[in-house]
A and B are shown apart, each in its own frame.
Chain A
Amino acid sequence: MNPPDARSRPIIEVKNIRKEYPIGDETVVALKRINLNVMRGEICCIFGTSGSGKSTLLNQLAGMEKPTRGDVLIGGVPISRLNENQLASFRQRHLGFVFQSYNLLPNLTATENVAMPLLFRGVPKAQREAAARKLLCRVGLSHRLDHFPRQMSGGQQQRAGIARAFIARPDVVFADEPTGNLDSKTTVEIMDMICTFARDYHQTIILVTHDPEMAAYADRIVTLIDGEIVSNQVNNKEKARHGT
């Protein structure tokens, strides 16, 4: 997993991927020819309007879908070529997700939800729930440990979602419009939280958004239009934050 040149090598390498969807008799090209490298520890924003192909790109990166052509390598592993089981075990060890609609399981408590990635790995109940409680306290939900998702506000749910994404200490966390359903105050809290976690553990974040304000948090902004990368630039954060 970690070859000697791990530091110099990009954690995510996207090589010439193309994604087509058959719709009826026609073929829609969602991604044309994407090449992209993301370094370890980077917060990378995939920015684009709706229909630009940014979600499709995220799906390819996270191994949710197989590209029509090309390869996606994470830490050197060609995840676009793994089978279901290899992918599952790869996700357990290396990937985390933050979803727009939080996606906590409704019948599990906050603690159980956060502990879920460890559950799939076979970590015993007491151990994984202790870890989950610790992390929930860190995201400020110490008073919501045994609450069900429906008993929590959107912001609280998303904080639990973040705890869940980071509990297994993944190399890469994918965040798909993580604040899309939240108000602006909560958005700032959530984004700060994601960035803090990422810095603390030297983790890579792939942030998908259509919101320029969000993009401001990123180290690198990749802009997509009609399935093509039109710009890929390092972000000057100070300017972005105070400029608006």
Chain B
Amino acid sequence: MQKKDLLRICLQNLMRRRSRTFLTVLGVLIGCCSIVIMVSLGIGMKETQEKLLAEMGDLTIITVSPPQNGKGKVKLDDALVKRLHNMSGVVGVSPKQSLEAESIRILSGTGNRYVADWTSVVGMDTDQMEQLGYRIINGTTVKHSGDIIIGEFLAYSFKDTLRPEGRNMIDRWAGELDENGKPAELPAPYLDPLKSTLTLEITTESGTIKYPVKPVGSTKEDYSKGYETSEGIIMSLTDLRKLLDKIQGPKKKKLPYNSVVVKVSSIDRVADVEQEIKAMGYVTESMESIRKPMEKEARQKQMMLGGLGAISLFVAALGITNTMIMSISERTREIGIMKALGCYVSDVRIMFLAEAGAIGLIGGVIGCVISFLASVIINLVSIGLSPENIPAAILGGENINRVSVIPPWLLLFAIVFSVLIGLGSGYYPANKAVQIPALEAIKSE
């Protein structure tokens, strides 16, 4: 038989029992929809999670610290920095040394009117800042001795000593928070440190020293890089060494670094590089330790949701099998006649498989269309119901968290899966049909 004719007969037979076909297709459609929507919710969840993580910090930064209880040979020194530089997948390395003192205050303004009672001062290789992914949001990077870079929100650490205690600081969290839990609008701080001269007042056992610094830029807050990007100060290692010499006197020589920051080229290299550094005996830390379990959890949830959807598709499969068995028992005589007139066994099989497959295909395609629409509606509801949000609901965007995300592969997978389910559930009935003897045609009614 020609393929065209097989297809025609298959469609004719489906159209013959319209309501039954419709109900069976409806079953597949619901199953397909539930899979697509469930999985799309899972994907949406994962996408939102990843955006959240990326906001928390750079996912490709590894912080290397010395081993906790071993003095041994593994030290954070220039040799290590060099070694890390040469590691494959590493794009930037900088040692970090923080200034340790009893108190570090920052004074500014006329008569030192503005005072920050506490801050952290970190020395690092300022030439590597760009490679490490520090984002200078205002001003420039360190060029001269005495230049510093300040954290994004350092300004809010200052209090105005002329105002009464308790009401002399500006809380940047006081205003309304947006959906990501960030302040929606930042209140104006008392001063702009970038336009002022700052003096560090460092108190240690051996006394207090004052050290003037000149802020030249500020960095974007990034927890993976350290607190100093938020409310601290970054200066060049040479400056920090000088400062330390001033405090401690020149007698002590070169403290080891507190930590070394490593930037890796891409997220999937992080685990490897981290493993390698660990093997060298160091303690490492990265967002990977947060990302991994979150990703795992997201995947588990996705599988669970998909599984729930799959159950309804399997129920639909039973529906197809049932429909096919019924239609075969109704058509027993017809099949017998066809065989008596010389219809090939394989054609009989193909005919019934095609019918079951077509039910799957129709259900799958309509199901995909409906789930796509449903997904757009879900997203619209979460973003805001207005026509201009439709493209965002479909395609997503930089600052849009879609609840339901349907990638093209999911639609393709759903259709293929529905067809396979159809063929699978048609297999047994088709074999039954094949076994009907031509003799059925002769039996009198």
Q: Report which A residues bind B (CB closer than 8 A).
A: 55, 58-59, 62-65, 84-85, 88-93, 95, 97, 99-101, 103, 105, 107, 116-117, 119-122, 124-125, 164, 168, 176
Contact = CB atoms under 8 A, between A and B. Distances in A.
Contacts of A89: 342, 344
Given A55-B442, A101-B444, A91 B5 contact: no
A117 B347 CA distance: 13
A89 B344 CA distance: 7
Interface in B290-336: 333-334
A64 B2 CA distance: 25
Contact of A119 (B5, B13, B333): B5
* Residue in A93, A99, A100, A103 whose Cβ sees the most chain B Cβ within 10 Å: A103
A51 to B, nearest CB: 14
B200 interface: no
A99 B344 contact: no
B346 A85 contact: yes
Contacts of B91: none
Q: Is the interface of B mostly helix, strand, loop or mixed?
A: helix
B4 A120 contact: no
15 contacts: A59-B442, A63-B438, A64-B437, A64-B438, A84-B345, A85-B345, A88-B339, A88-B344, A88-B345, A92-B341, A99-B337, A101-B444, A107-B12, A120-B1, A120-B342
A179 to B, nearest CB: 14
A220 B277 CA distance: 101
B340 interface: yes
A116 B346 contact: no
B342 A121 contact: yes
Contacts of A85: 344-346
B343 interface: yes
B347 A120 contact: yes
A97 B333 CA distance: 15
A120 B338 contact: yes
B338 A116 contact: yes
B285 to A, nearest CB: 70
A84 B2 CA distance: 19
Contacts of B339: 88
B16 interface: yes
Given A64-B340, A105-B334, A120-B344, 8 more contacts: A58-B442, A88-B345, A99-B441, A99-B442, A119-B5, A120-B338, A120-B343, A125-B5
* Residue in B16, B439, B444 whose Cβ sees the most chain A Cβ within 10 Å: B444
A88 B336 CA distance: 12
A125 B346 contact: no
A100 B444 contact: yes
Contacts of B4: 125
A235 B437 CA distance: 35
Given A59-B439, A97-B441, A117 B5 contact: no
Contacts of B5: 119, 125
Interface string B1-19: 1101100000011001000
**Nearest 3 interchain pairs by C-beta:** A92-B342, A91-B342, A64-B439
Given A64-B442, A103-B333, A107-B12, A97 B2 contact: no
A97 B338 CA distance: 11
A14 to B, nearest CB: 18
A121 B444 CA distance: 27
Given A55-B442, A107-B16, A88 B437 contact: no
B211 to A, nearest CB: 96
A117 B2 contact: no
Nearest to A125: B5
B205 interface: no
B179 interface: no
A95 B345 contact: no
Contact of B341 (A58, A63, A91, A107): A91
A178 to B, nearest CB: 12
A103 to B, nearest CB: 5
B178 interface: no
A124 B439 contact: no
B359 to A, nearest CB: 18
Contacts of A55: 442
A105 B337 contact: yes
A85 B349 CA distance: 12
B10 to A, nearest CB: 13
B165 interface: no
Given A59-B442, A64-B438, A65-B439, A97 B12 contact: no
B445 interface: yes
